[in-house]
């Protein structure tokens, strides 16, 4: 199992566990996520791209994977995802370029490039 698969499985396992435990906080978080990423003045695709950049800055691998995948599902191109990563790199400086390495692996996984 590769790192991306491992992260996806861990995220799904935690998601199911929190739902089965009827976590009110997690349910509220899911409602917040739904509201935050629904189309409004900004389309979902652009909101997901913003989240990609933020994920690079905060060095959250699971977040990078999730939001890149969601951005692509919402219609983002590989170039749009790359530019969102680049904005995160600029905002986060040198340490964000290290975080971006993981995001590049996710792009390869999603778009199938090598």
pLDDT per position as a tens digit, 26-59: 999 999 999 999 999 999 999 999 999 999 999 9
Residue among 85, 88, 74 nearest 108 (CA) = 85
Count of domains for the chain: 1
CB distance 87 to 53 below 8 Å: yes
For residue 104, pLDDT over 80 is answered with yes
**For the chain, percent of residues with pLDDT exceeding 70:** 98
What is the spatial distance between Cα 60 and Cα 21, in angstroms, rounded to a whole number? 25
Domain hosting residue 106, numbered range: 3-111
pLDDT score at 106: 94
pLDDT score at 1: 80
What pTM, to 2 d.p., does this model score? Answer: 0.90
List the CATH number of the domain containing 45: 1.20.1290.10
pLDDT score at 114: 58
pLDDT per position as a tens digit, 86-101: 999 999 999 999 999 9
């Amino acid at each position: 199992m590769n790192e991306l698969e491992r992260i996806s499985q861990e995220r799904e396992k935690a998601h199911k566990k929190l739902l089965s435990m009827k976590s009110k906080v997690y349910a509220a978080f899911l409602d917040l996520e739904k509201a935050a990423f629904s189309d409004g003045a900004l389309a979902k695709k652009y909101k997901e791209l913003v989240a990609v950049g933020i994920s690079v800055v905060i060095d959250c691998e699971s977040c990078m994977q999730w939001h890149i995948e969601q951005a692509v599902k919402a219609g983002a191109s590989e170039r749009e995802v790359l530019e969102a990563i680049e904005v995160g790199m600029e905002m986060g400086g040198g340490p964000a370029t290290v975080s971006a390495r993981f995001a590049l692996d996710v792009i390869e996984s999603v778009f199938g490039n090598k």
